Structure 1
Amino acid sequence: MALPIPTTLDEITADWLTSALRQSEVISEKTTVLARTVEVLGVGEGFAAELARMHLSYKNGSGPATVIAKIPTSVEDNRNGSELLGVYERELRIYERILGEIEVSTPRLYYGDIEVNPDAASQLERIRKMERLPIWLLRLILWFLIRFNKGKTFPSVLIMEDLSPAEAGDQVQGCDLDRAGEALEAVALLHAATWGDRCPQERYWLVSSAVAPRLFHAGALGARRGFLKNFGRLLSDHTRELYESTRTDNIERTIRLHREVPQCMLHGDFRLDNMFFARDGGFRALIDWQLSSFGPAVSDIAYFICGSIDPGVSEAEIDALLARYHRALESAGVSDYPLEDLHAHYTEQLLLLLARMASVDLLDLGDQDGRGADLVSVWIERLDARMARASSGR
C-alpha cells in the first residue's frame, strides 16, 4: 500500500517510519518504531531542502538507531526555483538508478518517494524551445517564474543512512589542502566511472549542464544588479573587470567546454557541506545529488576549489591539487585527458563560475547575519582570490 508523502518533518511519525522501513525491508514485519525524536539539521546550509536526524527506538526487533530525513524546503522562492529545476525527482532517481552501479561512497537510501510532476517529462523540450528566445525575454520569463510561480508543489521524502560519527564538512570554515586532496580523489572515482562512453544517458531528470546555456546566462544577467549591490564590495577591481567581460562571451564559453572536453557525470554541488569525513581522517561519503548533471569534470573541480580553499593558498598549491586529482583520474582508468588540458579548462571554468555566481542573489539566504549569508560571502571571497589565475592567463 502506498504511503502518504509527508510535507513536514512533523508528519514523519513513528507509525509512518514503521511502514516505510518495513516496505524497504530495513526492519522486519514484526518490528515497530516505538518512538522517534527529531533533531533538525543544516539550518543555513542548504537552500532546497529541510533535514533532520531522527533518533528511533523499536519494539519486537531492531533497526537503525538514527536515520536522516529530507524533504523539500518550506521557503517559497527557493522551493519554486527547485521545482523548476526538477531537483527533488533528480536526487531520488539518482539514488535509485545510478549510484548503486558506480564506485562512489554515499549514504544508503532506506526509503524514498515523490509525487511526480506530470509535466516533468515534457519540461526538457520546453526548455530547449525557450533557448531560441532573445536574452531579454528569457530574463523576464525567469524573473516571473521564480517570483510568481505559485502553482502546485509536489511532495517528496528521502529516509537515509545516518553517517555519524563521521564529520560533515563545513564550507564556511573551509578545509586544509590534505582534506581538499582527499575530496578531489573521491570525486575522481565518480568522474572516471562515468567518463566518455560510460556517461549516463540523458533522461528528463538528468541532462547536460549545457542543456540551456542561454537560459542560465539570462538568469545570471537578471540577478546581476542585486548581486553587485549585495556582494560587490567583496570583489576586487580585477574581478569586477572580468565579471563585466562575462556578459558577452559566457554562452560560447559554456558551449566550447561541453564540445571540446570529455563528458562525465557531475555531482553539481560539490562542496564541503555535502561531504563527510572519517574522524580519524579520510573521505567518507558524498551527499546531496539534487544538482547533478553531466558535463566536463572540471566543473566540479573549479566549484569545489573556489568554494572551499582559503584565499591565502597560492596558485602553486592549487596546481598541486589539480595534479593530485589528475593522478587519481588516471589511476581510475582515464587516459585521454592530459594535465595541461585540465589546467586550461579549469581556468575557463573559473570565468563561468564568476558569471553564474550572481544567481545566488535569487535565493532566500535567511537572516542577514545567518549562516546562509556567511556561506555566500566566504564563497565569493575565495572565488575572487582565484580570479588572479584567470586574469593572468595561466
Structure 2
Amino acid sequence: MPDPLGPSDVPTAPRDITPEFLTRALRRGGREATGRIAAVTVAGGRHAGMFGSVRRLRVRYTDPQAHGPRSVMLKLPSREFAESRAFGALEARLYLQRARLLPDARTAEVYYCAEGGNGSVCLLLEDLGDAGFVRQYDGCTPDQASRALRAVAPVHARWWGRQLPGSAAWVRPPGQSLVGEFCRGWIHGYDGDWPDLLEPVMPRLAARYERVAGVLAAGPVTLVHGDFHSQNVSFAGEAADGPARLVDFQFVQRATGLQDVARFLATSLTTEVRRAAERDLLTEYLACLAAHGVTGYGFDACVADLRAALLWNLTTPVALHIRGITTEGRPWPTSMPILERCLTAVDDWDATRLL
C-alpha cells in the first residue's frame, strides 16, 4: 500500500483528510496509541482568513473507547490569497523546528506539519476550542494581557541578542520579511487619496518605511511572533493566572520583542484599558525578561522600541485595505476601529517623532 504521507500527497483541501490519512498522521506525530479512525467530518472552524484557512475536523473511531483526539484543527493556505502558501510555509518551517526555536513557548500540539512539492502546506493541530480566544474588537482584560505577555516574554528572552541557528536563516528582520515586503509593495504602490483617519500619519510612514523597519531591527533583537494579538492567543484550559498559549506564527520575524508587545497592547485592549494598564504591563514584561536572564534593557529603551513598533502596527491592516481597494474595487471602510486604536496609541506615545 502506498504511504499517504509522502511529499506529493500533502493535503490541499479538507476532503483530503481521509480516515486512513489522519490515523497515520496522528501516529507519525507521536500519537502512537491512536485508534483506527472510522470517519472525519468538517465541523466549522475558528476563522478562514486571507493568510490561512482553519477548519475543525470531528473524528470518530472504530472503537468508541479508542485513544486519540476527538477533534483536530486543520490549517491550509487560503484559496483567496495568492501569498497564503508562502506565509503557510514560514509557519510550517517554524513548527518543524519548534523544539529548538520555541522550547519556552506554549503552543497547540502539532500532530502533522508538511510542505508538499507542489507548494501545498498542511498543519494538523490540537483543538484549543473557541472560547479561549478574545476578539480584538472586544478587547482583553489587564489580567489576560498580563498572561499573554508572560507567555511571549520567555520566547523573547531565549533569543534576546543571540543569533538564531543557521537552520533558521529564513527568519528575517521586519523590512526583509515576507510580511514586510508584502506591506511595502502595497503601501508604496498606492497613489490614491488617504482617508482622513490615516492622512496625518500614513504618507509620512510610507516615506520613512525603511527607517521604521530599521529601528525594529537595530537590536537587541529576538525571535518574535509578528502577529501577536488576542485572536492568536488562547486563554482557555489553564488557571486564571497561568501563561496563555500561542498560535498562528505566519509572520514570524527577527526584531525587537516590543514588536509583539506593541501589537497586543494597541490592538487587543480597548483604549481606556490600555491607557490604565499599559505602564504596569510594560514593567511586568521587563521584569519577566529579567527573570529569564535579559540584562541591560531598561524602560527608556523599551519605550524607544515601542514607538517604532506602534507605527509598524499600521502597516499590515493598511496594506490589506489597499489590496482590497486596488484589486477588488472596494472603497475605504467608513469605520476602522482597530486602526483607530493603533493610531491613538501612536499619539499617546508620540511615536510620530520617528517620522
Q: Which TM-score tier does this pair reach, normalised by the shorter chain? A: 0.7 to 0.9
Task: Select 1:24's aligned residue among 22, 25, 29.
Answer: 29
Aligned to 1:267: 225
Alignment of 1:301-316 (within 5 A): 301-313=261-273, 315=275
Q: Which residue of 2 aligns with 1:321?
A: 281
Indicate conservation of the 8 Å contact 1:214/1:251, yes or no. Answer: no
Q: Which amino acid aligns with 1:82?
A: S
Please state how far the C-alpha of 1:355 moved relative to its aligned partner.
4.7
Matched, 1:58 2:74: no
- Contact in 2 for aligned 1:50/1:71 (Cα 8 Å): yes
Q: Deviations over 1:263-284 (max 9, x none)?
A: 1001011111111013552433
Q: Matches of 2:341 and 2:191 in 1, distance apart?
A: 19
TM-score, normalised to structure 1's length?
0.76
Q: Deviations over 1:315-360 (max 9, x none)?
A: 4532222112111111111112111100121112222333554212
1:295 shift after superposition = 1.1
SS in 2 for 1:168: coil
1:221 alignment counterpart: 188
Query: d(CA) in 2 for partners of 1:352 and 1:160?
Result: 29
Check the 8 A contact 1:175/1:308 in 2, yes or no: yes
Per-residue CA deviations over 1:81-122 (Å, capped at 9, x if unaligned) read 234xx2222111211213455211011111122114xxxxxx
| SS in structure 1 of the partner of residue 140 of structure 2 | coil
Q: Secondary structure of 2:173's match? A: coil
Q: CA deviation at 1:156?
A: 1.7
Q: How does 1:35-54 map to 2 (within 5 A)?
A: 35-43=39-47, 46-54=49-57
Question: Is 1:277 matched with 2:235?
Answer: yes
- Decide whether the 8 Å contact of 1:104 with 1:190 is kept in 2: yes
What residue identity is the alignment partner of 2:37?
V
Larger RCO, structures 1/2 (Cα 8 Å, 6+ apart): 1
Task: Report the residue type matching 2:91 in the other structure.
Answer: E
Residue 120 of structure 2 corresponds to residue 159 of structure 1: no
2:201 maps to which of 231, 242, 248: 242
Other structure's SS at 2:43 match: strand
Specify the alignment match of 1:97 in structure 2: 97
In the alignment, what sits opposite 2:145?
Answer: 180
Whether the aligned pair in 2 keeps the contact of 1:223 and 1:361 (CA below 8 Å) is no
Q: 1:55 to 1:2 in 2, by over 3 A?
A: closer
Deviations 1:141-170 (A, max 9, x none): xxxxxxxxxxxx622211111224861222
Look up the match of 1:251.
Answer: 210
Give percent identity, aligned residues only.
25
Partner Cα distance (1:56, 1:308) in 2: 33
Partner of 1:119: none
Shift of 1:28: 4.3
**Deviating more after overlay: 174-183 vs 273-282:** 273-282
Indicate the SS of the match to 2:297: coil
User: Please, which moves more after superposition, 274-283 or 318-327?
Assistant: 274-283
Q: CA contact under 8 A between 1:242 and 1:391: conserved in structure 2?
A: no
Contact 2:175 2:181 in 1 (8 A): no
Q: How does 1:113-152 map to 2 (within 5 A)?
A: 113-116=114-117
Counterpart secondary structure, 1:42: coil
- How far apart in 2 are the matches of 1:48 and 1:164? 20
CA drift at 1:172: 2.5
Cα pair 1:311 1:381 within 8 Å, conserved: no
RMSD (Å), alpha carbons:
3.0
Structure 1: 5+ residue stretches without partners:
117-152
Unaligned 5+ segments in structure 2 are none
- Are residues 330 and 18 of structure 1, via their aligned partners in 2, closer, same or farther at CA, if it must alter by over 3 Å? same
In the alignment, residue 42 of structure 2 is paired with which amino acid? V
CA contact (8 A) 2:187 2:206 kept: no
Instruction: Provide the C-alpha distance between the structure 1 equivalents of 2:187 and 2:112, rounded to a whole number of angstroms.
Output: 36
Following TM superposition, by how much is the alpha carbon of 1:314 offset from its aligned partner in structure 2, in angstroms?
A: 5.7
Q: Shift in Å at residue 216 of structure 1?
A: 4.5
Partner Cα distance (1:302, 1:308) in 2: 10
Of stretches 296-305 and 16-25 in structure 1, the one that deviates more from structure 2 is 16-25
Aligned length: 336
Answer whether contact 2:4 2:21 (CA < 8 A) is retained.
no
Of 163-172 and 1-10, the range deviating more from structure 2: 163-172
Kept in 2: contact 1:194–1:200 (CA 8 A): no
Distance, in Å, in 1 between the alignment partners of 2:108 and 2:160 is: 23
Matches within 5 A, 1:339-354: 339-354=299-314
Paired position in structure 2 for 1:81: 83
For normalisation by structure 2, the TM-score amounts to 0.84
